[in-house]
Chain A
């Protein structure tokens, strides 16, 4: 099939409660469309193959790799990125503007360059909403889908454990 014959399809979705309407080709990936058409630059593109977890967003309440969805599949969907973190955590934002999870990450030095952090925060918020008191083993299993090249994971595990009560 020639690129010139490609169809463009209408796409309508909400991203962090904002309605986003655009036109996309079938082969556009959701991760790229979130960045370019929705301004959601927190969606980081690392490996583009679903391994690194940096582009993780929440689609209709379920965490998903944005790089492993076609943008057209998000038609009618409700997307939440790290900009919806407070809502995903379901808890109050502190006076300094940070959520509980952000505060724990800061206190435990759970990030350095920050590339993996938005995806990690989003999926960890959902993880903690489903598990009140996860064991260390459960936290490690959860982190298996997120690559971090800075921290060696020890500080991330400590941050999540501090909230797992």
Chain B
């Protein structure tokens, strides 16, 4: 059926559908650069449609075999770049070994978006204030990156932190999560269900200690080791909000969190004030997950 030509919302680009990692990396090594990776597309395609990005090449990695697994690997849980958020959310391996991530995924986007959107894509997009980058930084996740020089590993915190970014010619093929069997909780306040969080917090307590990740207080995700130490000592009791507030001040430094983060709708002052309470509620959820009351 021939109709009118469909609307043209993105600007023009070439499209490649490599069938292997080798082929994908070769295409990334384009002297003109400006290539975007398409996995789930749930972050990229809105940016293309609004012409916020205008790549020359869109590299669709969906046909590369072997990137859709979640599996134990050398003390880590290895998650390929094509693992969908919903797949990770319902995975029993993730629930047992990375409980903080498992809990956070309940809060990411909406169900249909989670069916296609990938965990790695959400992390690499690193949209300000979103859940998963904070979770990855706090849990000490690492990326497996492929570029023309071969394979290397980088800490998520080194790529997702303030002023950091991934080299444009690099392809993240996996994310490695340290195994941390135990319990985890996530809580966030948002302006409506499914909207980006105003402030969100993850608390994970397991064999690898306690980690706290915080989003929405800075433009980037934050790991909060000082808050985490105190939570770990008292768990399952939760510190008072005022005490969390004092500890949090030590975890927020200009070089890690940057200037106070606020938007036109929700200012920096409210975000900072509500954060200790959000952390308390994440602790309560972790306690519930541990079978306590």
Q: Which residues of A contact B (CB under 8 A)?
A: 1-3, 5-7, 9, 20, 22, 24-29, 32-33, 35-39, 48-50, 53, 56, 62-65, 67-73, 123, 127, 140-142, 144-145
Contacts and interface: CB of A to CB of B under 8 A. Distances in A.
Interface in B74-122: 109-113, 115-116
A158 B193 CA distance: 19
A145 to B, nearest CB: 3
A13 to B, nearest CB: 13
B60 interface: yes
The 7 closest A-B pairs by CB, nearest first: A145-B110, A32-B6, A26-B15, A36-B3, A144-B194, A27-B10, A49-B46
B9 A37 contact: no
A2 B49 CA distance: 17
Interface string B1-25: 1111111111111110100000000
A69 B15 CA distance: 13
B12 A141 contact: no
Given A32-B7, A35-B6, 14 more contacts: A3-B12, A27-B12, A27-B13, A28-B6, A29-B45, A33-B6, A37-B3, A37-B6, A48-B46, A64-B115, A67-B45, A70-B58, A73-B60, A145-B111
Nearest to A28: B6
B232 interface: no
Contact of A145 (B5, B7, B8, B112): B112
14 contacts: A3-B12, A29-B7, A37-B1, A39-B1, A49-B49, A53-B112, A63-B111, A63-B112, A63-B115, A65-B112, A68-B42, A68-B46, A144-B111, A145-B109
Contacts of A68: 41-42, 45-46, 113, 116
B194 A9 contact: no
Interface-central residue, B2, B7, B14, by most chain A CB under 10 Å: B7
Given A26-B58, A29-B6, A37-B3, A72 B12 contact: no
Contact of A62 (B38, B110, B116): B116
Contact of A48 (B49, B109, B112): B49
Contacts of B3: 35-37, 39
SS of A interface (majority)? mixed
SS of B interface (majority)? loop
A48 B50 CA distance: 9
B127 interface: no
A28 B15 CA distance: 11
B9 to A, nearest CB: 7
A80 B134 CA distance: 37
A27 B110 CA distance: 25
B62 interface: yes
A42 to B, nearest CB: 14
B115 A62 contact: yes
A133 B25 CA distance: 46
Contact of A69 (B1, B6, B13, B41): B41
A6 B113 contact: no
A25 B8 CA distance: 9
B248 interface: no
A25 B15 CA distance: 9
A37 B1 CA distance: 5
B6 A2 contact: no
